[in-house]
Structures are given as structure tokens and as C-alpha cells.
Amino acid sequence: MMIVMRADATQEDVQSVLACVEELGLTPHISQGVERTVIGVVGDSRNVHLDQVLRQPGVDRIVPITRPYKLASREFNALDSVFQVGGIAVGAGNVIIIAGPCAVEDRFQLLETAHAVRQAGAHLLRGGAFKPRTSPYAFQGMGEEGLELLAEARQATGMPIVTEVMEPEKVQLVSQYADVLQIGARNMQNYALLHAAGASQRPVLLKRGMSATVEELLMAAEYILSHDNRRVILCERGIRTFETATRNTTDINAIPVLKAQTHLPVFLDPSHSTGYWEYVSAIALAGIAAGADGLMVEVHVHPQRALSDGMQSLKPERFAHLVSQIAALCSALGRRMAPPEQIPTPPSERLEWST
Amino acid sequence: MMIVMRADATQEDVQSVLACVEELGLTPHISQGVERTVIGVVGDSRNVHLDQVLRQPGVDRIVPITRPYKLASREFNALDSVFQVGGIAVGAGNVIIIAGPCAVEDRFQLLETAHAVRQAGAHLLRGGAFKPRTSPYAFQGMGEEGLELLAEARQATGMPIVTEVMEPEKVQLVSQYADVLQIGARNMQNYALLHAAGASQRPVLLKRGMSATVEELLMAAEYILSHDNRRVILCERGIRTFETATRNTTDINAIPVLKAQTHLPVFLDPSHSTGYWEYVSAIALAGIAAGADGLMVEVHVHPQRALSDGMQSLKPERFAHLVSQIAALCSALGRRMAPPEQIPTPPSERLEWST
Amino acid sequence: MMIVMRADATQEDVQSVLACVEELGLTPHISQGVERTVIGVVGDSRNVHLDQVLRQPGVDRIVPITRPYKLASREFNALDSVFQVGGIAVGAGNVIIIAGPCAVEDRFQLLETAHAVRQAGAHLLRGGAFKPRTSPYAFQGMGEEGLELLAEARQATGMPIVTEVMEPEKVQLVSQYADVLQIGARNMQNYALLHAAGASQRPVLLKRGMSATVEELLMAAEYILSHDNRRVILCERGIRTFETATRNTTDINAIPVLKAQTHLPVFLDPSHSTGYWEYVSAIALAGIAAGADGLMVEVHVHPQRALSDGMQSLKPERFAHLVSQIAALCSALGRRMAPPEQIPTPPSERLEWST
Amino acid sequence: MMIVMRADATQEDVQSVLACVEELGLTPHISQGVERTVIGVVGDSRNVHLDQVLRQPGVDRIVPITRPYKLASREFNALDSVFQVGGIAVGAGNVIIIAGPCAVEDRFQLLETAHAVRQAGAHLLRGGAFKPRTSPYAFQGMGEEGLELLAEARQATGMPIVTEVMEPEKVQLVSQYADVLQIGARNMQNYALLHAAGASQRPVLLKRGMSATVEELLMAAEYILSHDNRRVILCERGIRTFETATRNTTDINAIPVLKAQTHLPVFLDPSHSTGYWEYVSAIALAGIAAGADGLMVEVHVHPQRALSDGMQSLKPERFAHLVSQIAALCSALGRRMAPPEQIPTPPSERLEWST
């Protein structure tokens, strides 16, 4: 880090900072400008209490030089991370599509949607059993019953399951059913949950908080990685800005920025990042064009009957069209979608689920 | 709510929406404009799955008429809520000051600071034993040992304790030591934690999330209130904007807005909302001038040695000066600070704590 | 519009609002809810002074039903606008690429860059002669001399010219040289300039202000359209948010939102919307994938010597690669780039311009 | 400035940057860290084309050390600027109140309001003759006729006039009538206007753009100051954020930040920064408590008939109450309002203006 002194700092102030830096076990390095003195600090300052330096008299501000995350950084791992999720390689340049309903609502809705998205070309099935809702009066999810339906859908379609976990003490339960633990935007800095998800050694899909910077997202990933759990997928899902024409503002820039700064796979959720199904396909394509490793798309067989987020859910036909467009776009840009063969064959005969 | 139809909606579309509204047990009411039709919906639509209506063909958007929170609203309770916290009346027009270090670091630091802030006129003592940190490599707090030190500080000074709880399963533990459970900005939408804090029946200080709207803050309070726990203090602590000159942007407007929309007491944390001690006093005074019921201020006996947030901590002398200014300002505006007599006498003789 | 009354509004309040609405020449329409009364207003309220109603006692808020812009709206013109700019059709589903240096710096730099971008497949040439700069001490552009160089570059390459105008009284001068007048982000609400550009009857490329909503961008376009100047290109160039990893946040959502709400062509400037050349190609492709009608890209033959925005300028080789990727992406999605034949042949022999 | 090299920068990269820095007439200074090299640059880099350095291979980013503004900075002028505006000292620690209608609408409205605000204790009269409006269909102001009415109001009340100018070529006209030229938020980066206002040598009230940083506001002031026009008042008027409960978000932090960074007087406009008259008084008091040198408040004799901004205008009685609160608050904090004697006596007998 560099310590920038005020223009009116005295020699005494500078000496005091030098002493403080040395006391912290680091090596200071003076750079004398015309107007100001800057003190470079050599050594690993990640664990250092910067505040101790910041409050020294004469200090204007501190400029970090190294990034605060380590395990998540490209410098730590120059090559893209690749790992298996229920038999499917994520991050290998394979474009992966996660699809399914916002919430598990009932057996029929889930199984019908699961078959439809698998048919259309999706690789993983999403569906929420525990739902974070702004209002305590809104539908909060089916809970464990929902998890059982998800397991049934995996059985029926072969698709690995992605589902959200909202509390540390539910990590074990959800892990019994889910192939990928999803940590939602509201919980991106729920550190107890990040620790528990890290310790579970399950793959984790970590959504960016709606006001989190890219750096904070990487720091949250660092919590999981610090448990030596390397299977972390980052997911941009829109940030909060002044614009109200859409539910959130898709930070499409975050895709190439993340690809430059981290080796972890980067996904986009165009459903939450727009909030309106009319815009989902355009933004899904934009995400892939920008370099995303995958998408997470809400699909519902009957969006107008959805208990949540129906407004942003695609119908299966439209989703199928989107998948074919993504495949064409991948070819045009020299990339490819993960081949359907990667999806495991259903371990059992197709269950009877039709109404 | 009002359902606004598209300009090109057909008669059939309108009929279909009417049928859907009736199916949901509500009464529709047509209002035919020159360009568009608007359908008013009479009945309590709080539990209704709006998405079902939103996805009807011909629907442009839905405009909520009633606010989504209920127990937190002024309409539910026209008079300011007043309740006791460790013998001190909060919300009675009494201005209350919570002060103390960001984190409990050691016995000496805590007790010295506690005595200093009590001496200066603070009413409650703050101090974090569990600390949410952006980096997994930063100091995470002393944990239960910190709670024990807080209890000792209460014993020594008589001041009730405010301290943060970050996980549902720690609510019981923290409640054994704390007079007020603090829920931090990052956890404002940690619903399991809100439920647990509500169920504990302890007073709760709920900080606004850094990208939460005023309405979302009130919805989060609603989670706690729905457990019939009425002792909720709301705390503005700055929101995230494009401005980087300060750590956060104090949303001073939120003070009068909250006072208009809710009966709950409204506090301001000028330490986090600015991030620099140089600006804390100015913003603390602004908060009281804007109508806040209290403040939460970080004070540290040796800010330059603080393990966290030293940059935004006041020294005791400066804090004492601030308290005297607040008292003068209260007099000028016809308000008053809670009298020091309200702070309980230390239940024991003053402990020996000096080094 | 709908007038939402407060829950505690009296019958008298309602009557007073009804009278006021009628006085304004509009027809009120009462809708009585359980908790609140809502008054629909029938008639064109675009010119009505809403404030008069808003200040009536008992009024909670006003909800606009019709959008405030008219000539720019899809409802006014359901089909995409198509118009000629220097012989090239804009908005016909043709993807158009505007490229060139941020600023005109000297004859060699401009001509070399112009030939390079034309060679690479760009359709229009950009280059600033008048530069808006945050600092009065920064390079402010070459002024009229720069315009003359732009004219020379058009002469040499056949490419129509896009260049910025910053003041109403310069509109006439710039119109003598430019095929398209660019109005920059900082001037999006410079109404005198909008009026002057509208009156000039020149095509206008209107950039979105960095904190302007989509609706405000359309209202700014309305100023130009109200002069019966229909040749307006809208250009997303990034908005200001809390994220500092990039210079601005590309509001990619704005592309499909604008395409839905207006008939005007919609462009994206990925250079300003990211601020770093490393991210420009990814976001340029994303823009086309999201449905943009064109791009505006900064290209510089020697970015490291650029007097402004070198950091976000592509080198010609990289730009040429981007153009080929765009062409492939267009094919994949069933769109096409404007054919190079549309660029007029240089009216003169290629000038001698090499150093 | 400090040039931070990438972790993987080669020795050659470093040498190349050193050469480039020297070529720019500056002195480089190497600081070798464990992971990265940082190059300090000694010399005045305000006029230097940073882009030339930024595009060097191996460069990660540039960290400015000195602030980009100079004449506006506290370092340039440690003492508060004090200057006369129509006989009233601004910035002397005197709290100044500017009040009046948003727009001049007619003679009766203006004169009645002018007398009312003078009576209540305001020092300067505001009123817009040229109005920037989002919609081309909204009332655009009375123009020169409005300026004449303002002159009449000054004649009648003795109050100096503050009114907005929106175009460079109107600066001369408006200067004939106005004591203070107001530059509105939308024009904060209208550089031709800033130059013209600077050259006019009139006092200028410069409003912060709705997405401008504090630093950009000071850079805009620098444009005016560079014409040796030192009479610049800065005015915070709310910034644009995600919060929609108020029209803008008052950046109250900007008050003490500006007071620390500049010697220029700092005002607050609580009418625009909130957008609702209910919140204006609370925020006006907050502004003074935070250290503002003055306020700009919209007052209208009949807000419900206002042609613009009636929603945020105070009635005269409420304004008078606010002024008395401000006076009490000033006393409590050891400050004072400018004494009414400073307002010049009307040069003529009171005109007959009543209807």
C-alpha cells in the first residue's frame, strides 16, 4: 500500500508514520513529491490494521496496491478453473445453462418445467425451496418438501439441481438434495452462511449482492475458497441503480471484468437482472457475447400462475428458442455449449408424473 | 392496487383480467381513459400473487396503492412508539445517544471507553463482539469473550449494552448479555435472523442495508414486529451511491421520511454514514436537527490503535464536545436529551479496571 | 393519471380534488377502495400543472398512466424509424459502426485512423473537434481546425462524419462540416442546444446523460423531434453507479427497453461505457446481441499517444477483429451489418496525406 | 501521481514507463514492492496526458496524489472566502437565506412572495425566468419579462436577486437584472456557460449536478475561477440514487466535505434535495447544523397554484417559522444569521403592487 501524506504534514508526522509501519513488521519507502510525501509500504499488508496508520497525524489517505482477495484472483491461478457439477464440466469454455422455476410450487409444475427445460437444452435445474422475500406476508417457499420434489425431478430428468440455502444451519439439509448450493444476493455478505457453504465442500453458486462491488463479490468468494472449497460459480444478477425501467441494472461490464480478475466461472442471471421476460432473451444473449460461462434463467410452464417472479419467467417455447440462439451465437464466436450428452441419464425409468 | 392496461389491450384482455381479479377474491373496478383502461382492485391484496395478474395479456403494469408494511406504519399506530431499554425510555422525544468502540478489543480499551462515554453523557454502550468483515483475513471480533467484557462494562457503568448478532443461532447467546440486539446493514434482509430476533422479544436496533430503500427497511422491521416484538429501533447508516468522497452517503432525507411513515424510533449512525471522524460531528448534529430520536456514535480511547473503523471513531474529548452541542441544539429546537438520571446506577461498586 | 388520496382524506378533500380536476378541463373518475380513494383523470394531462393537484389537501401522490413523451414513442410510430445519413441507411436493421479517435489531434493521426477504420469495415467516422473536459486545464480540442480536418478525412475516405457540438451558437458552424451532430452526455439536458440541433434539421446522435433515466433520454429526444427533425439516433454510453471497476456501468438493459419504447435507432458506445479498451470488444458484442442498431467505438492508431481517452481506444487491428466478430454474430442472429457499398465513394482521388 | 505496475510487468515495461515520464518533463521515482513496482511522479502533472502513460504495457493503473482543482482548494486559500453580493456579505460565517418561488409566474405572485420572504427574514430573492424543464411541453418560464419583474421586486424590497441563466449568449442579458447568476444542476458541466459566467465577473451560484461528485463540482467551479471571478457559491441540491421516497437524496455529507476541501461558501437547497415540502424544514435545519453557509428555499404564496415545483414549496408562514428555528439553531451552535440590516433599503418607495 501507499500512504499519501497531507500537503501540510510535518517531518515529525512522516517520522511517526515510518515508525508505525515498522512496528507493524513492514518496510516503509519514502517518495518525496513537490507538494506531498508518499510512503510506500513493502510487505504483506492484508492482515494489517490500516486504521492504525490512517489515524496518524498528517496522513491524507491510504492507497491499496495489491488486491484484498487472493485465492479468487487470476494472479493466484492464471488458468480458468474447471470443475464437475453432477457430471457436467463447468468453466471449461463450455457454456452451461441453468433453468427452472423461481420457486418450487408443486410437483406438477416442477416436473413439467424440468422436462421442458431439459428438452430445450438446459443442463442444470434450478428451483427455490426456501425463498427470501421482502415481505413476511409473501410465499416463503415449500421448504424440505420442495427439496424432495427437486430430488424427484433430478431422478426423472438426470439434471443436477441448483437450489438456494439461506441459513447456516440449513446447509447440511440442503446439501442432501442439492448438487449446487445457491447463495442469494441478499446473503452475499452473510458470513456465517459463506463459512458453512465453504465447509460443506459442495459446489456453490454465489450471487452478487445488489449493491456489492466486483471486489466485494470476490471477497465473499474468498470466504468459501478459504475452506479449500474450490467449486465456486460467480453470478451477476443486476445491481441497484437510479434506473427504474427495469428491476435491476444488469452490470454487463462485470462479465469481462470478472473474467480478467478471477479464474472462477462467471454466470449471468438475466431474469433477475432485468425483471421482465420481454428483455430476458436480449440480455441472455448479451451475457454470452460478453463472455459469460453460463446463464441462469427462470422458466415456468404457466408464468401467469407463478407464485413469485412470474413477470420475469420465460415460457418453455421461448426458452427453447433462446437456447437455439445461444448455440448459434456460441458457434459464431468460436465457443460452444456444453453438449447434452454431459447431462447424466436419469438413473431410473421416467417416473409417472403427468396429471 | 391499480392495474394499468396497455394502450393496445383488447376488450378480451380486460375481461380476462377482471376474471382473474375476481378469482383471487378481490373486486375489480374499471376506469376507462382516453388511451388506456385502468382497473382498480378493492380488497386486501397484500397476500395476493400479483404475478398472476401481471402476466395477463394486455397488462402494462401494476401500481400498488397501499403500502406493503402494516405493523410498522403510522396508519397502524399514529403515535410515536415509546419503550424501555434497560431503564431508558426510547422514542419519547428523549434524544438518546449510543456510543462506544466499533469492536470490543480488550478489557482496558472497553472499560476506559465506556467510562469516558458515560462521563460525556452517552446513554447506551455499543461494542461489537461479532464483527462482519468484508475480508476473511480481517479481525472477526472476540466472540463470547467480548460479550463478557460488555457485561462487565455494564456492571461498571450502569449503561445498557447494544451489540451485534450475525446469526440466528447466536441470538440466544447474545441475548444473555445484550440489552439491545443490533442487526447490521449486511443482514437487514437475513430473514432467518430477523425472525430469530423477533422471537427473542429483545429490543432490536435494525440498521438499514446499504442499498435498501426506506420501504425495504420498514418491511424488514415488519418481520420482527410480526413476532409481536414491538421494540424496534430503526437506524440510518448511510447508503451506497456514486460519491466516493465519504464511505457512504448519509441519507438524511430518510430521517423525516421515516418519521412520517412509521411510529418506530429513528436513529442515525454518523460514523458509518460518513466514514471519517472529521465529518462525524457535523452529521451527528444534522441528524438531530432533521428529527432523529437518537444517535449511534463510534468512540475509541485510542482510535489510531483501533482494530477496525479507527478512521471514523471520535476521541472521548471530541465526543464530549459533540454531546454538549447536541444538548444545545435540542434546547434550541424545543427538544431534549434523555436526562442522565435515566441511566441505571451501576449495580455494583465501581470495579477495579485501571491498568 | 391517477390521483391517490391519503387513507385519512375526508370527503371534502375528495370533492376539492374533483373540482380542481374539472377546472383543468379534465374528467375525474372516482374509484373507492377499502382504505383509500383513487381518482382517475381522463383527458390529455401532458400540459397540466400537476402541482396544483398535488398540493390539494388529502392527496397522497399522483401516478402517471401515459408516458410523458409522444413523438419518440412506439405508440406514435410502431415501425422502426429508418433514415439516411450521408448515403447510409440507419435503423433499417442494418448494423452500423461509427469509429474514430476520441479527439482530432492532428492531420496525420486523423487520416491514418480514418483509413484504418474504413478498411476495417466502419461506416461513419467520429472525431471530436470541441471536447468537453472535466478540467479547464485539459486539452479542449482543435476547434474549427479540427472540423476542417474531419472534412478532409471525409473527402479522402467517403465516410460521413459524426462530431460533437457543445453550444447552440456553434450548431451552424459544426453543421457545415458534420453529417451527424453529436450531443454529448453532459449536454443531454442542455435545452438550448437541443432546440438548436432540432432546428438545424441535421441528423443528431444524442448520448444519454450519465444519470439520466431512459425516460429522460426520450424526453430529450422529444425536444429535437418537436422541431420536426426526425433523424435522431439514441446512444447508450454508460451510467454512473457505485461500481468503480469500470469508468461507467453499461446499462445493457437500456437497449431492449429503448427498442420496446421508441422507434428511433439505438446505438451503444462501449468505449465510454467501460473506459478500458480491454473490455470494449466484449461489451460491443453484447450490445449487438442485445439488439443495438449500431455502435460507436473509439479507435486510435497510437492509443498510448492519445491526448484523451487513450485508455479506452482500440488499436486498428483489434478493431478490425471486432468488426469481423460483429459480422459473424449478426449472421448467427439473423441480422446483418450495413454493406460497405453503402459508404459513398470518396468524391476525390485519395489525397496525399502520409507524413 | 503514482503509477502502479501490474504484478507481471517486466523490467522492460518499467524502463519504458520511466522513459515516458521523463519525456513528459517529470521526474520518476521507483518504489519496489514484493509483488509490484510503483513509480512515483514528481512535478506538476495537471496538464499531462495521463493516457500516454496509462497505455504503456505493464501499467495497471494511475493513482492521482494531488487534487485536480487548484484555485478552488483550501490549499490555495486556507481562509474562507468572503465576498459581497448586493451589499450582503456571503461566507463570513453569516448564515444567508435565499428564498422565493421556483419560477416567476406573474407580477402579483412574485411581489407578494418577495415581500413575504423579506418579512420572514430572507436575505436574497430567488425566482426563475428561464426554466430548464424535462419536457418540451412544460412551462418554460417568462423569459425577459420575468427578469423585469425580478428587477421590480428588488426595487420594492431591496433584496438582491438570484436567477438562473441557461445559455452562454443569455449571460449578458441576465446580468443586467441579476445580482447572482445561478447555474443549474443540469448545466454544471456546460462548459461554455461556465466560461461565460466566469467572464461576466458576476457572482455565481453553482448547483451541483445530480450525478456529479464533489470533486467534479469543484472542477466546474475551477472553470469560473479561472476567469479570476472569485465570487462563486457552491450549492448542494441532492444527488440521484436508488432511493425513490424523495425526489433526490440530499448529500448532507457534502457540506462538511466541501467545507474541508474548499474556501468557497457552501449552500444547501433543501427544496430540490427533498422534493416534498413536508421534509424541507427538517433538511434545511440539518444543512445549517452540518455547517452550510446558507440555504436556498422555494417559497410560494399559493403552492397549490404554482406552475412548477409547487410540491416542494413552503408557504410563507411555514417559511417564517423555519427562519426563526434557523436563528435559534445558529445561536445554539455559536453561529449567526446575517442581520437584516445588511439587506439594502429599497431604493424607492414601496411600489403599488397589490392586485
Inform me whether the C-beta atom of residue D68 falls under 8 Å from chain A C-beta atoms: no
* Residue C181 and residue C56 share a domain: no
Domain count of the fold of chain C: 2
Report the range of poorest mean pLDDT among A98-107, B117-126, C217-226, D299-308.
D299-308
pLDDT at D223: 95
Sign of CA dihedral C149, C150, C153, C154: negative
CB contact under 8 A, C304 and D211: no
- Please state, as a whole number, how many other Cβ atoms lie within 10 Å of the Cβ of residue B47: 11
Average pLDDT value over all residues in chain A: 90
pLDDT at position C275 over 70: yes
Q: Which three cell numbers stand for residue C99?
A: 469509429
Between C344 and C289, the more confident residue is C289
pLDDT at C348: 52
Rounded CA-CA distance C150/C163 in Å is 9
State the nearest Cα–Cα gap between D345 and chain B, in angstroms.
31
pLDDT at C50: 65
Rounded CA-CA distance D218/D216 in Å is 5
CATH number of the domain bearing residue B299 = 3.20.20.70
* Residue A137 and residue A7 share a domain: no
Does any domain span residue C211? yes
Q: Contact partners of A by the rule of 3+ C-beta pairs under 8 A? A: B, C, D
For the segment D135-157, the average pLDDT, to the nearest whole number, is 92
State the nearest Cα–Cα gap between A34 and chain D, in angstroms.
6
State the nearest Cα–Cα gap between B292 and chain D, in angstroms.
10
Backbone φ and ψ of C9, nearest 5°:
-70, 140
Average pLDDT value over all residues in chain D: 90
* Residue C58 and residue C111 share a domain: no
In this prediction, residue C48 has a pLDDT band, given cuts at 50, 70 and 90, of low
State the nearest Cα–Cα gap between B218 and chain D, in angstroms.
12
Does any domain span residue B44? yes
Give the C-alpha distances (Å, rounded to integers) separating D304 from C301, D140, D299, D309, D311: 59, 18, 12, 10, 8
Rounded CA-CA distance A32/D31 in Å is 11
Helix C254-261 vs helix A277-289: angle between axes, to the nearest 10 degrees?
Answer: 140
pLDDT at position C349 over 70: no
Rounded CA-CA distance B294/B94 in Å is 8
- Best of C134, C183, C222, C298 to disrupt the D interface (most D CBs within 10 Å) is C134
Between D250 and B141, the more confident residue is D250
* Residue B266 and residue B185 share a domain: yes
Q: What is the pTM of this model?
A: 0.91
CB contact under 8 A, A251 and C273: no
Inform me whether the C-beta atom of residue A324 falls under 8 Å from chain C C-beta atoms: no
In this prediction, residue D348 has a pLDDT band, given cuts at 50, 70 and 90, of low
* Residue A274 and residue A302 share a domain: yes
Residue of chain A nearest C272, judged by CA positions: A253
pLDDT at position A353 over 50: no
Does any domain span residue D238? yes
Rounded CA-CA distance D253/D248 in Å is 14
Contact call for residues D121 and D327 (beta carbons, < 8 A) = yes
State the nearest Cα–Cα gap between A33 and chain D, in angstroms.
5
- What string of DSSP letters covers D222-252? HHHHTTT---EEEEE--B--S--SSSSB-BT
CB contact under 8 A, B55 and A191: no
Q: What residues pair up with B207 in beta bridges, in sequence order?
A: B235
B65: nearest CB among C38, C42, C65: C38
Rounded CA-CA distance D337/D294 in Å is 9
Inform me whether the C-beta atom of residue B63 falls under 8 Å from chain D C-beta atoms: no
Give the C-alpha distances (Å, rounded to integers) separating C138 from A350, C141, D48: 69, 9, 8
**Strand duo D94-100 + D124-126: pairing:** parallel
Rounded CA-CA distance B221/B219 in Å is 5
* Residue C55 and residue C88 share a domain: no
pLDDT at C29: 82
C169: nearest CB among D132, D166, D169: D169
Average pLDDT value over all residues in chain B: 90
Does any domain span residue B162? yes
Kindly give, in sequence order, each residue whose CB lies less than 8 Å from that of residue A302, ignoring residues fewer than 6 positions away. Answer: A109
pLDDT at position A200 over 90: yes
C33: nearest CB among B31, B42, B242: B42
For the segment C256-274, the average pLDDT, to the nearest whole number, is 97
For the segment D126-154, the average pLDDT, to the nearest whole number, is 91
In this prediction, residue D349 has a pLDDT band, given cuts at 50, 70 and 90, of very low
Rounded CA-CA distance D166/D187 in Å is 7
Exposure b/e, D186-205, CB count within 10 A at least 16 = b: bbbbbbbbbbbbbebebbbb
pLDDT at position C353 over 60: no
- What string of DSSP letters covers A301-334? SSGGG-SS-GGGPBPHHHHHHHHHHHHHHHHHTT
Question: A283-331 pLDDT, tens per residue?
Answer: 999 999 999 999 999 999 988 777 777 788 999 999 999 999 999 999 9
Residue holding cell 442546444? Answer: C193
Inform me whether the C-beta atom of residue B137 falls under 8 Å from chain A C-beta atoms: yes
pLDDT at C355: 39
The residues in D 21-40 lying below 8 A from A, measured between CB atoms, are 29, 31-36, 38, 40
- Tell which residue, D276, B70, B221, has the closest CA to residue C60: D276
Domain that holds residue B22: 2-63
- Please state, as a whole number, how many other Cβ atoms lie within 10 Å of the Cβ of residue A119: 14
Give the CA dihedral C73, C76, C80, C83, nearest 10 degrees: -100
D290: chain B residues, CB-CB within 8 Å: 282-283, 285-286
pLDDT at A51: 66
For the segment D94-121, the average pLDDT, to the nearest whole number, is 95
CB contact under 8 A, D35 and A66: yes
Under DSSP, the state recorded for B185 is G
For the segment D269-278, the average pLDDT, to the nearest whole number, is 96
CB contact under 8 A, A38 and D33: no
* Residue A130 and residue A19 share a domain: no
Percent of chain D at pLDDT > 70 equals 95
B64: chain D residues, CB-CB within 8 Å: none
Residue D298 host element (H or E)? strand D294-298
Between C52 and C333, the more confident residue is C333
pLDDT at A347: 57
CB contact under 8 A, A136 and B308: no
* Residue C120 and residue C44 share a domain: no
Contact call for residues D200 and D228 (beta carbons, < 8 A) = no
For the segment C144-168, the average pLDDT, to the nearest whole number, is 96
pLDDT at C172: 96
Average pLDDT value over all residues in chain C: 90
Residue of chain A nearest C283, judged by CA positions: A290
Residue B5 host element (H or E)? strand B2-5
Residue A147 host element (H or E)? helix A144-157
- What string of DSSP letters covers D256-272? HHHHHHBSS-EEE-HHH
A279: nearest CB among C215, C253, C331: C253
State the nearest Cα–Cα gap between C245 and chain A, in angstroms.
7
Q: Contact partners of B by the rule of 3+ C-beta pairs under 8 A? A: A, C, D
- What string of DSSP letters covers D17-52? HHHHHHHTT-EEEEEE-SS-EEEEEES--TTS-HHH
Does any domain span residue D246? yes
pLDDT at position D53 over 60: yes
pLDDT at position B355 over 60: no
Q: Which three cell numbers stand for residue A198?
A: 465453504
pLDDT at D353: 43
D307: chain C residues, CB-CB within 8 Å: 49, 51
Per-residue 3-state assignment (H helix, E strand, C coil) for A227-295: CCCCCEEEEECCECCCCCCCCCECECCHHHHHHHHECCCEEECHHHHHCCHHHHHHHHHHHHHCCCCEE
* Residue D120 and residue D164 share a domain: yes
Residue B232 host element (H or E)? strand B232-236
For the segment A145-150, the average pLDDT, to the nearest whole number, is 96
Does any domain span residue B352? no
- What string of DSSP letters covers D9-24? --HHHHHHHHHHHHHT
Does any domain span residue C222? yes
* Residue B52 and residue B175 share a domain: no
C247: chain D residues, CB-CB within 8 Å: none
Residue of chain D nearest B272, judged by CA positions: D253
Q: What 3-state class would DSSP assign to B280?
A: helix
- Best of A42, A65, A66, A261 to disrupt the D interface (most D CBs within 10 Å) is A65
- Please state, as a whole number, how many other Cβ atoms lie within 10 Å of the Cβ of residue B228: 10
Inform me whether the C-beta atom of residue C260 falls under 8 Å from chain A C-beta atoms: yes
For the segment D87-113, the average pLDDT, to the nearest whole number, is 92
Alpha-helical regions (H) of chain D: 11-23, 50-54, 107-120, 144-157, 171-177, 191-200, 214-225, 254-261, 270-274, 277-289, 316-332
Q: What 3-state class would DSSP assign to B324?
A: helix
pLDDT at B45: 65
* Residue D11 and residue D156 share a domain: no
The residues in C 202-221 lying below 8 A from A, measured between CB atoms, are 211, 213-215
Residue of chain C nearest D61, judged by CA positions: C311
Residue holding cell 397501499? Answer: B66
Rounded CA-CA distance D134/C72 in Å is 14
A305: chain B residues, CB-CB within 8 Å: 52
CATH number of the domain bearing residue A17 = 3.30.70.1140
Kindly give, in sequence order, each residue whose CB lies less than 8 Å from that of residue C44, ignoring residues fewer than 6 positions away. Answer: B34
- DSSP E strands: which ranges in chain A? 2-5, 27-32, 37-42, 59-63, 83-85, 88-90, 94-100, 124-126, 161-164, 180-183, 204-207, 232-236, 266-268, 294-298, 336-337
Inform me whether the C-beta atom of residue A268 falls under 8 Å from chain C C-beta atoms: no
* Residue C298 and residue C267 share a domain: yes
For the segment C29-50, the average pLDDT, to the nearest whole number, is 75
In this prediction, residue C166 has a pLDDT band, given cuts at 50, 70 and 90, of very high
Inform me whether the C-beta atom of residue B43 falls under 8 Å from chain A C-beta atoms: no
pLDDT at position C340 over 80: no
Q: Which three cell numbers stand for residue B180?
A: 439491545
pLDDT at position B350 over 50: no
pLDDT at A351: 44
For the segment C138-160, the average pLDDT, to the nearest whole number, is 93
C212: chain B residues, CB-CB within 8 Å: none
Question: D155-185 pLDDT, tens per residue?
Answer: 999 999 999 999 999 999 999 999 999 999 9
Question: B241-264 pLDDT, tens per residue?
Answer: 999 999 999 999 999 999 999 999
Rounded CA-CA distance D286/D252 in Å is 8
B253: nearest CB among D215, D279, D332: D279
Does any domain span residue A73? no
CB contact under 8 A, A257 and C250: no
Contact call for residues B113 and B301 (beta carbons, < 8 A) = yes
pLDDT at D50: 65
For the segment D125-152, the average pLDDT, to the nearest whole number, is 90
pLDDT at position B351 over 50: no
B213: chain D residues, CB-CB within 8 Å: 242-245
Sign of CA dihedral B24, B25, B26, B27: positive
- Tell which residue, D196, D139, D154, D191, has the closest CA to residue D171: D196
